[in-house]
Amino acid sequence: MGRKTVTIRDVARHAGVGISTVSYVLNGDEQHVSATTREQILAAVRELKYRPNAIARSMVKRKTGTVGLIISELSNALFVPITDGVEQVLSTEGYHIVLARAESAEAETNAIELLRSQQVDGIIFMSLSVRRPADPLSLLEAEEVPFVVINRDLNPGQFCQIMLDDRGAGRQATEHLISLGYDSIGTITGIRETRPGYEPRRSAVERHAGWEHALTRRGLLIQDAWIVPGWYTYQGGYEAIHELARRSALPRALMIANDMMAIGALRALAELQIRVPHDLAIATIGDPPYAAYTVPPLTTLALPIEEAGRLAARILIEWIQGKPPESKGPIVLPFDLKVRESCGARKLE
Amino acid sequence: MGRKTVTIRDVARHAGVGISTVSYVLNGDEQHVSATTREQILAAVRELKYRPNAIARSMVKRKTGTVGLIISELSNALFVPITDGVEQVLSTEGYHIVLARAESAEAETNAIELLRSQQVDGIIFMSLSVRRPADPLSLLEAEEVPFVVINRDLNPGQFCQIMLDDRGAGRQATEHLISLGYDSIGTITGIRETRPGYEPRRSAVERHAGWEHALTRRGLLIQDAWIVPGWYTYQGGYEAIHELARRSALPRALMIANDMMAIGALRALAELQIRVPHDLAIATIGDPPYAAYTVPPLTTLALPIEEAGRLAARILIEWIQGKPPESKGPIVLPFDLKVRESCGARKLE
DNA sequence: GTGAAAGCGCTAACAC
DNA sequence: GTGTTAGCGCTTTCAC
């Protein structure tokens, strides 16, 4: 890049000093160099428009100042906030993100190889909450590569991982509905089972378990007819409502396992002239920016996903700089309840 | 990374050959090496789990195989599709993306410096359509760094840039409404003027001009009371509707300059019991995945933004590999009309 | 066909 | 304080 690269050598010559002196100045070695020499060198740097070659530096320091970010799919709603969070702390610490997408397990192994040959200092895995072979991660661990995993279906404690409290979210959403006085609460579930094109998600299973748990704890009925799969998609949520309406009398409220399905559901409900929250109250999980602008606005549990990104980045940097995380217990982040209108306000008391 | 790195040297020793022979094999130099030697080397590679050091290679080849992607803000809706498109072609060509966020002009200059010192082979700029000083870009050009700019307010023909046909989009959206028989058409505009926290956007100005153009061409009235700013935000769209309702009799249709404002507008309209499209038809610009699931689903012009990303990446790679773009005329990408329900179907004929 | 050697631009001992 | 030098891991002439 650029016609003829100016090197540290040129600077040294131009300033009439040795090459290492320039290096000292460039690396901010305060005590080593006299003020006058430093000035001369800085002047030469400016004059020649010298730009240090980070690659050459990496070569000798055996650190690149880059971190790989492996993402299962860019179009996932979690991608932006995660990346945002990661970028926030990484950039302030002077690290760069090298992006890699890995939609399948093989692609992931591949991505890891590629990033490692790029000599990244560490890796952050941001997954959908699907299960994938742990072997590539074990390998990384064996070779002492710093890495942290966000939101993957793994054995707890196995690696340094950050989890979201999906079960708690399902429970909280449901309990919020219960606390408002609803006593018949159905659910639209995410991808809990295999189906062509869909890998089951830990989050879906967990959120569902949370729903179940909340109901049993309060002694409320768990009615099979009120459990409808929505496959975590807009269309799935839309169809789930129609299916539900076909099946039986509607419950009074619905815990919908993610926001996309909730959006789809809202449209179906409008078509069926079922009023929300009057006829059917809704609570969901996931808080995209537009959740406050649906009709009606969605009561939901916001995922602490940006925070997860920041946390992952912080842990990773410390690790890279020599402080591996002490405990491997998974860090579980709580969700945050946003009460809006879709749940209704009809408190019992 | 990894305890003791195995180098090409180790492989050579292990295979009992010279270091350069290994290099040949690794770089797929077919004719240079005999089949038997090749096999020996490959065996050694496998046995030692050798992983080439891309950094060292970059050092001598003076190419890193990385491309910088400078983004003004991650939370912008364009970020995901752009990055997706860019990543698609870059990864198949063996390039890596180094991500950089640059919210301000200074941050951008800074990001450029950082990426260059990381020796990226080229840079893609993905901006909101704001105006920013062109100096840093001129500098890049002067130093013959390959780069392409997507969606920025720049002089056409100045750099290699990909533009979206925002004026055409505004016009098309409006014309579609006209073709359906609506003869009074208002608009909610984006950020056309400076306001604390908002930089004016070329896209907003252009889309508005498109609206105006469509109306004048058909001899329809341009009524000031029907022009309301919505600042490109959900809340802005929401407030714009309330403002509009306050001002005067409503127009029969509305061209809303982006999808976020349309979502906000939809909610305000629901509150005011104004039925869409029956009382007020809506067409907008921007087609997020949920646009088909609002109530009613939005008629909109989809931005060809993923394609823009792909295109940018393709052009950049060619440039990096020695073929700079011949014409600097900006490449203007057309939008794609998606007819859904918010515009109504009341054709005149 | 294959190997030896000269760097790519930089840092970090180690001399002076 | 400052300069000399030996690599970091690799590619690439250029001999053999």
Give the closest of B2, B51, B143 to A2, CB-based: B143
| Interval A159-204: pLDDT, tens | 999 999 999 999 999 999 999 999 999 999 999 998 888 889 999 9
Residue A335 has pLDDT above 50, yes or no: yes
- Distance, in Å, from the CA atom of A137 to the CA atom of A161, rounded to the nearest integer, reads 11
Q: Is the pLDDT of residue A280 over 70?
A: yes
> Quick one: tokens of B117?
């010192």
Q: How far is the CA of A303 from the C1' of D4 (A)?
A: 58
Q: Which nt sits closest to A51, CA to C1'? A: C9
Structure tokens at B208: 């508005």
What mean pLDDT is predicted for residues A275-291? 96
Cis peptide before B277 (omega within 30 of 0): yes
Interface touch A293/B267, C-beta < 8 Å: yes
Q: In the complex, which nucleotide's C1' lies nearest to the CA atom of residue B34?
A: C1
Q: What is the pLDDT of residues B211-246, one digit of tens each?
A: 999 999 999 999 999 999 999 999 999 999 999 999
Give the residue with minimal CA–C1' separation from C12: A20
Paired strand residues for A186: A254
The answer to whether some atom of strand C lies closer than 7 Å to the beta carbon of B62 is yes
Put residue B62 in one of left, alpha, beta given phi > 0 → left and psi -120 to 50 → alpha. left
Interchain pair A74, B87: CB under 8 A:
yes
How many angstroms separate the CA of A44 from the C1' of D11?
31
Q: Cβ of B91 under 8 Å from any chain A Cβ? A: yes
Would the pLDDT of A83 be above 60? yes
| Average pLDDT, rounded, for chain B | 94
Q: Which residue has its C-alpha nearest to nucleotide C13's C1'?
A: A20
Residue B30 Cβ under 7 A from any strand C atom: no
| B113 chain-A contacts, CB cut-off 8 A | 51
Q: Which nucleotides of strand D lie under 7 Å from a protein CB? A: 1-5, 7-13
Residues A266, B51: C-beta atoms closer than 8 Å: no
Strand C bases near protein CB (under 7 Å) are: 1-5, 7-14
Q: Give yes or no for A34 touching B (CB within 8 A).
A: no
Q: Strand C closer than 7 Å to the CB of B327?
A: no
How many Å apart are CA A231 and CA A268, to the nearest integer? 16
Helix (H) or strand (E) holding B10: helix B8-15
pLDDT digits (tens, 9 = 90+) for B186-197: 999 999 998 888
Strands B147-150 and B122-126, how do they pair? parallel
Q: How far is Cα A89 from Cα A67, in angstroms, rounded to an integer?
A: 12
The pTM is what? 0.95
Q: Residue B5 — pLDDT band, cuts 50, 70, 90?
A: confident
Task: Name the amino acid, one letter, at B261.
Answer: M
Which ranges in A232-294 belong to alpha helices (H)? 234-247, 259-271
Selected residue of A6, A238, A293, A320 to mutate for chain B interface (largest B Cβ count, 10 A)? A293
pLDDT of residue B292 exceeding 90: yes
